[in-house]
Amino acid sequence: MAGPMFRAAPVRIRVPATSANVGPGFDACALALGLYDDVVVQVAETGLDIQVAGEGSDKVPSGERHLIVKTMRKTFAALGGQPRGLALRCANRIPHGRGLGSSAAAIVAGVVAARALVVGGADRLDDDGVLQLASSIEGHPDNVAACLLGGYTIAWYEAARVRVLRLDVDAAIVPVVFVPTTQVATSKARKLLPAQVPFADAALVAGRAALLTAALTSRPDLLLPATEDRLHQVYRAPAMPRTATLVERLRAEGIPATVSGAGPSVLALCTATTAEDVAASAPRGWVAHRLETAADGAHLLAL
Q: So what's the pLDDT on residue 185?
A: 74
141 shares its domain with 222: no
159 shares its domain with 182: no
Number of domains in the chain: 2
279-297: average pLDDT: 96
Q: Is residue 5 part of a domain?
A: no
Name residues whose C-beta falls within 8 Å of residue 208's C-beta, 6 or more positions apart in sequence. Answer: 23, 24, 225, 226, 227, 228, 229
Helix-helix angle 142-149:127-138, to 10 degrees = 140
Q: So what's the pLDDT on residue 188?
A: 75
Q: Is residue 1 part of a domain?
A: no
130-139: average pLDDT: 97
The least confident of 31-35, 61-65, 211-215 is 61-65
61 shares its domain with 161: yes
96 shares its domain with 241: no
Count CB neighbours of 30 within 10 A. Answer: 30
- CA dist 157 and 135 (Å) reads 11
Q: So what's the pLDDT on residue 152?
A: 98
Q: So what's the pLDDT on residue 192?
A: 87
- Of the chain, the end-to-end C-alpha distance in Å amounts to 31
CATH number at 180 reads 3.30.70.890
**Cβ proximity of 104 and 16 under 8 Å:** no
Q: Is residue 152 part of a domain?
A: yes
- CA dist 263 and 46 (Å) reads 40
> Given a cut of 90, is residue 184 above it in pLDDT?
no
Q: So what's the pLDDT on residue 108?
A: 98
161 shares its domain with 233: no
Q: Is residue 282 part of a domain?
A: yes
Q: Is residue 197 part of a domain?
A: yes
37 shares its domain with 141: yes
72 shares its domain with 201: no
236 shares its domain with 140: no
> Model confidence at 187, in pLDDT bands (50, 70, 90)?
confident
127 shares its domain with 197: no
Q: Identify the CA nearest to 147 among candidates 36, 284, 73, 21.
A: 36
Q: So what's the pLDDT on residue 1?
A: 59
181 shares its domain with 161: no
Q: So what's the pLDDT on residue 303?
A: 76
Pairing of strands 85-92, 47-54: parallel
Q: Is residue 22 part of a domain?
A: yes
CATH number at 104 reads 3.30.230.10
- CA dist 101 and 109 (Å) reads 12
> Model confidence at 25, in pLDDT bands (50, 70, 90)?
very high
18 shares its domain with 156: yes
Give me the domain span that covers residue 227: 174-290
Q: Is residue 189 part of a domain?
A: yes
**Cβ proximity of 9 and 214 under 8 Å:** no
- CA dist 266 and 288 (Å) reads 9
Q: Is residue 6 part of a domain?
A: no
153 shares its domain with 131: yes
Tell me, letter by letter, the H, E, C secondary structure of the chain: CCCCCECCCCEEEEEEEEEEECCCEEEEEEEEEEEEEEEEEEEECCEEEEEEEECCCCCCCCHHHCHHHHHHHHHHHHHCCCCCEEEEEEEECCCCCCCCCHHHHHHHHHHHHHHHHECCHHHHCCHHHHHHHHHHHHCCCHHHHHHHHCCEEEEEEECCEEEEEEECCCCCCEEEEEEECCCCCHHHHHHCCCCCCCHHHHHHHHHHHHHHHHHHHCCHHHHHHHCCCCCCHHHHHHHCHHHHHHHHHHHHCCCCEEECCCCCCEEEEECCCCHHHHHHCCCCCEEEEECCECCCCCEEECC
